[in-house]
Chains A and B, each alone.
Chain A
Amino acid sequence: MSFGVSTPFITNLSGVSVGSLSSPTRTSMQYTPSSYNPSTLSNGINGLSMGAIGSVLKNLNKYPFGDLPDDTLICRGGGCTAQQFIQGAESVGSDGSLSGVSVRVGRNGESAEELLQSLPKGFGGQGKVINLGQLKSAGVTLEQEGTDAMHGVMDKAGPSAAEDLEALFESGEGLIDTIVGEL
């Protein structure tokens, strides 16, 4: 995935083991929206627009997961329809490519049931599960986003990205062997 200005930052992180980081050491570089009042920041800093600054800071908030095994489970809460993948993506390319689709990542070997139970409470344990190998085979890329070590974002290129993701997550139904009721 191309982040423009963030590429050198990603490269600089290549030697950092993020697998064991529950609270990344680069916290000071992360976007901390609660620390500012956007209504007071309208003129930018040193000639940069606030939009450009915000974009840079948000991109710094993403970094690689590191080497996770292909059987790592990935879970997304909710209906997981093509329309929800489109509407839930951070951005949609002119060709239909999607970027920034949020998922939970079982980076510590969590089971499907454990991942479903870790979803935000509103989902009531309802979601779909797939494994990392399936995602990689389909050309989906995955990065960690934010300070939650299990929060990942997917990118999928191509005009049928949303339909492809829907089909992928449908195909993972067999990974869920326990029906979870309301949590």
Chain B
Amino acid sequence: MKKLTFIYCDLNKLAYQDTYPLKNRVVLGEIKKAYGEITDKMQIWIYSDTFKNGKFDPMVYPGIIYKLGSEYDLRVDKEDMKYLSESEKFRDYSVVDIIGRESFETMNKEHPKWF
């Protein structure tokens, strides 16, 4: 079964506001590549680069995209945010499955103690 694609969401920003503006053309391109054309109230899967007990343990959660004219906002229910290590739904997923091999290799090279 094909695994889901997760889109990065910056917890440094998300934690301080109710919505997350989706204006970043790189991220919008990643969403379209993984989920197709963006439609109002589309659900996507998200990860943030979080840590637990000093180890990299991404949070995985759903987000809903709202279309506002030509712009998009992402909304998240913070109750849905779970560490990958604690997620029943994604227990068969590895860190590489969530963040991608390139991100994993970059972080593992610079900070092997995180893994």
Contact = CB atoms under 8 A, between A and B. Distances in A.
Interface of A: 33-34, 38-39, 41-42, 44, 49-55, 58, 76-79, 81-84, 86-92, 100, 102-104, 119-120, 122-126, 145-146, 148, 151, 153, 170, 181-182
A91 B24 contact: yes
B27 A87 contact: yes
29 contacts: A38-B68, A41-B68, A52-B69, A54-B68, A77-B12, A78-B12, A79-B49, A81-B106, A83-B102, A84-B8, A84-B103, A87-B26, A88-B10, A88-B12, A88-B13, A90-B24, A91-B23, A92-B26, A120-B15, A122-B50, A122-B51, A123-B11, A123-B51, A124-B50, A124-B52, A145-B16, A181-B53, A181-B54, A182-B51
Interface string B84-115: 00000000000000000011001100110010
Nearest to B25: A92
B30 to A, nearest CB: 8
B11 to A, nearest CB: 5
B44 interface: no
A20 B47 CA distance: 35
A92 B68 contact: no
A54 B114 CA distance: 39
Given A87-B8, A88-B8, A78 B54 contact: no
B107 A102 contact: no
Given A38-B73, A126-B54, 10 more contacts: A33-B19, A42-B69, A50-B69, A51-B68, A51-B71, A77-B11, A83-B106, A88-B10, A122-B15, A124-B53
B92 to A, nearest CB: 22
A173 B52 CA distance: 20
Contacts of B102: 83
Given A81-B110, A92-B26, A124-B50, A51 B70 contact: yes
A53 B48 CA distance: 29
Contacts of A78: 10-12, 48-51
Contacts of A44: 69
Contact of B40 (A39, A92, A100, A125): A39
Contacts of B68: 38, 41, 50-51, 54
A89 B21 CA distance: 10
Contacts of B54: 124, 126, 181-182
Among B13, B30, B48, B54, residue most surrounded by chain A Cβ atoms (within 10 Å): B13
